[in-house]
Amino acid sequence: MKRGQIIGLVAVLAAVVAIGVFVYNASREDKGANSGKLQVTASFYPMAYLAERIGGEYVSVTNLTPAGSEPHDFEPSARDIAKIQDADVLVLNGGVEVWGNRVASQLADTNVHIVVAGEGLQTMEATEDGHEEEEEEHEDGSTDPHIWLDPVLYKQQAARVAEAFIVKDSENAGVYRANLATLSDELDALDGEYRAGLSSCVAKEFVTSHTAFAYLAVRYNLHQVAISGISPDTEPSPAELAKVADFAREHGVTHIFFETLVSPRLSETIANEVGAQTLVLNPLEGLNKEDLASGKSYLSVMRENLSNLRVALQCS
């Protein structure tokens, strides 16, 4: 090998070593930046939002459901399971996560603290027409898990997440309690906006794409009728579609709601059938990448929902 080639080879090897050292040090710095933080996995967006707001800079939160994905049908991968097992806290809503009980049983002998933030708060069961009644009145219905759409119940979920963080990281309990207090005040304000904004509406009935807004409807004295069931992917029969269309006509429904993570086809079908318009009513089961990039959050989307409800219900 000629002298020039040897010098060139040495230079290349030196560069490779330098890059390797840089990557190694950067990796160590990243790990160091995360050391001491509470590692949290959350099942889907509303739970991740609570974890981020309550934990702040003291937690590292992984939302297991990818942005833009529908959580009802989400199934964690082997890599997701590994993240859950390596975490300090797993935050579940309960009822949405078809995988929740199975994974929870696998974590029985680990140090992962599992908080089911909706436990005991899910008191409604969906009937075929989307109307909700108390759980004990139905033996065969599906329990509605969408409690985060009621700001009052969401506030209770927030408190449970804070308690879980304090169990695993009592040293920063004061921070978690302070962040919980701030978020609770914001949710109280949101509840007040809904009460005021929906207090004087011409209509009380609204048609949604799937059974997600029952707790919100009960809280603010409204009546939800849904095209699909608890899962937005459930296809209604022609007879069920006709029943919703008849309801919309009889009650003078002017807007049919659709949501962002599933096809608006059924909502558009009903709207065309009855001569209504369509509007978004977001169940906040997840935000897409564009929403996240633009800075949208639980609070901002809930206010958009309120604005659209006011239009559809002809509120003054």
Report the C-alpha gap between 66 and 64 in whole angstroms: 6
| Shared fold status for 38-194 and 199-312 | yes
Per-residue pLDDT averaged across 117-137, rounded? Answer: 66
Phi, psi at 159, each rounded to 5°: -60, -35
Domain ranges in the chain?
38-194, 199-312
Class of domain 199-312: alpha beta
User: How high is the pLDDT of residue 113?
Assistant: 97
Helix H or strand E encompassing 96: none
Please write the tens of the pLDDT for every residue from 69-88.
999 889 999 999 999 999 99
Per-residue pLDDT averaged across 46-52, rounded? Answer: 98
User: How high is the pLDDT of residue 35?
Assistant: 57
List the beta strands (DSSP E) in 82-157. 89-92, 113-116, 124-126, 132-134, 142-143
Report the C-alpha gap between 38 and 32 in whole angstroms: 13
User: How high is the pLDDT of residue 281?
Assistant: 97
pTM of structure = 0.85
Class of domain 38-194: alpha beta
Please write the tens of the pLDDT for every residue from 55-69.
999 999 999 999 999
Report the C-alpha gap between 269 and 73 in whole angstroms: 24
User: How high is the pLDDT of residue 10?
Assistant: 39
User: How high is the pLDDT of residue 126?
Assistant: 57
User: How high is the pLDDT of residue 118?
Assistant: 97
Query: Looking at residue 71, what DSSP letter applies?
Result: G
Please write the tens of the pLDDT for every residue from 217-257.
999 999 999 998 877 777 889 999 999 999 999 999 999 99
Residues 6+ apart with CB under 8 A from 191: 151, 152, 219
Please write the tens of the pLDDT for every residue from 274-297.
999 999 999 999 999 999 999 999
Report the C-alpha gap between 210 and 145 in whole angstroms: 12
- Choose among 108, 107, 76, 104: nearest CA to 92: 104
User: How high is the pLDDT of residue 36?
Assistant: 85
Please write the tens of the pLDDT for every residue from 17-48.
333 333 333 333 343 345 589 999 999 999 99
Per-residue pLDDT averaged across 3-20, rounded? Answer: 42
User: How high is the pLDDT of residue 228?
Assistant: 87
Least confident interval from 122-131, 151-160, 184-193, 213-222: 122-131
Please write the tens of the pLDDT for every residue from 128-174.
444 444 443 333 347 899 999 999 999 999 999 999 999 999 999 99
Per-residue pLDDT averaged across 2-6, rounded? Answer: 47
Residues 6+ apart with CB under 8 A from 71: 43, 44, 45, 65, 96, 97, 285, 286
User: How high is the pLDDT of residue 127?
Assistant: 52
Per-residue pLDDT averaged across 95-112, rounded? Answer: 93
Apex CA 294: angle with CA 61 and CA 213, to 5°? 75
